Structure 1
């Protein structure tokens, strides 16, 4: 029974292996929408599964005095990782160099793990409040970056790193990637933040 409770951890690790060892990783270095699918798969699917499984294995939460500091730190780190790796210079460096790509992917994973752990490890009302704010901030900045990519009238990245995928030309492919971020990147955080806010409201009632 205990092993069955750890299925999210196993699923998250298997998903990471599939994302990083499968064809998507190489596609992500040549076209933008595969990059975004890989990015979102790591941060909003694999990371929360690993956190849920990890909390079942090690249920201890963050010390109360660190709950707000931890939420702020995780939010700032998440923002810096997401926006930083989508700056043209860093995005193109990850496409060119194996070392930069490895650092990029590990930073996506650690940012996702930190944010989801801060938000899901809470054991009291103040922890839920801190988690809700962190989730809603992540939702807003992911949506904002996604919309900017969708509305960009020209390619943001060098053509050799934005070749297009799934039958799309480079610019529509970039716009598809932005749309995926705006919708599927922001929605899980918005839902998570709303859930924590509703739980907080019930505790305060």
Structure 2
């Protein structure tokens, strides 16, 4: 095997690393100890933040790198629609009736987790496709929409996290049935869940939006080799 072919093979493996890590993380989130612990802890139930804010961007980035042709079929102009879909799903599943149903029913829980993954992939793929994939030369409006979708999602994640963190009472009926960590009350468990949403969901989307915005600004900076 020549040095050139070895380098090409190594480069190919590196290209698939984000997708591999995303799939491993998803398997750990859904098949590890968290789903069992989530039955008695609101904070542990926030594993879906790992799905939408960590696994989803890894998977989306991996798809863009591993299958750019496939990613090019995801139009960036749908980014704001994707942000609205994620807003509706995230806030809808955190409504007390639906949240409690998902905690008590396996069928509802599967539907909830699947919709979180769909929403996260929809947002991140539409945001990234115009910046990193074959659609990179697409209209600037699509790339700006990708930035806006991530920043808007960061804001509503932050708002929901703050609501959970600052609420003076438990918001869900399952709090009466939950058995959180021995050192925590159900309200403190809910507050920890809100802090996780703030720290993981809010910051991940904020970092993603600012990162994509920085790439546009650098590309259009005086002396840059990008599009004008």
**Do the aligned partners of 2:41 and 2:180 also contact (CA within 8 Å) in 1?**
yes
Q: Residues 197 and 170 (structure 1 numbering): CA distance in 2 closer, same or farther, change over 3 Å? A: same
Answering whether residue 37 of structure 2 is matched by residue 55 of structure 1, we say: no
Larger relative contact order (Cα-Cα within 8 Å, sequence gap ≥ 6): 1
Is the CA contact (8 Å cut-off) linking 1:30 and 1:95 kept in structure 2? no
Are the aligned partners of 2:26 and 2:51 in contact in 1 as well (CA < 8 Å)? yes
Which blocks of at least 5 consecutive residues in structure 2 are unaligned? 1-9, 131-135, 222-228
Deviation at 1:63, TM superposition (A): 6.0
Deviation at 1:150, TM superposition (A): 0.9
Report the equivalent of 2:191.
Answer: 175
- Relative distance call for 1:145 and 1:161 in structure 2 (3 A) is farther
Corresponding position: 1:149 with 2:170: no
TM-score w.r.t. length of structure 1: 0.91
Q: Per-residue CA shift, 1:32-71, capped at 9, x if unaligned?
A: 10011x111111111111111111221134469x533x11
User: Quick one: structure 1 residues 161 and 87, their matched pair in 2 at CA, closer, same or farther if it must change by over 3 Å?
Assistant: farther
CA displacement at 1:30 relative to structure 2: 2.3
CA displacement at 1:129 relative to structure 2: 0.7
Q: Is the 8 A contact 1:150 1:174 kept in 2?
A: yes
The RMSD of aligned alpha carbons is 1.8
Q: Name 1:22's counterpart in structure 2.
A: 32
What are the residue-to-residue correspondences of 1:32-47 with 2, within 5 Å?
32-36=42-46, 38-47=47-56
Looking at structure 2, the residues matched to 163 and 202 of structure 1 have their Cα atoms a distance apart, in angstroms, of 50
Once residues 182 and 58 of structure 2 are traced to their aligned partners in structure 1, the CA distance between those partners, rounded to angstroms, is: 28
Q: 1:119 aligns with which of 85, 107, 127?
A: 127
Q: Which 5+ residue runs of structure 1 have no aligned equivalent?
A: none
User: Is 1:77 the equivalent of 2:85?
Assistant: yes
Change (3 A) 1:193 1:7: same
C-alpha contact 1:164 1:174 (8 A) present in aligned 2: no
Aligned length: 202
Alignment CA distance shift 1:180-1:160 (3 Å): same
Q: Deviation string for 1:117-157 (max 9, x for gaps)?
A: 11111114333211110000000000000001111111101
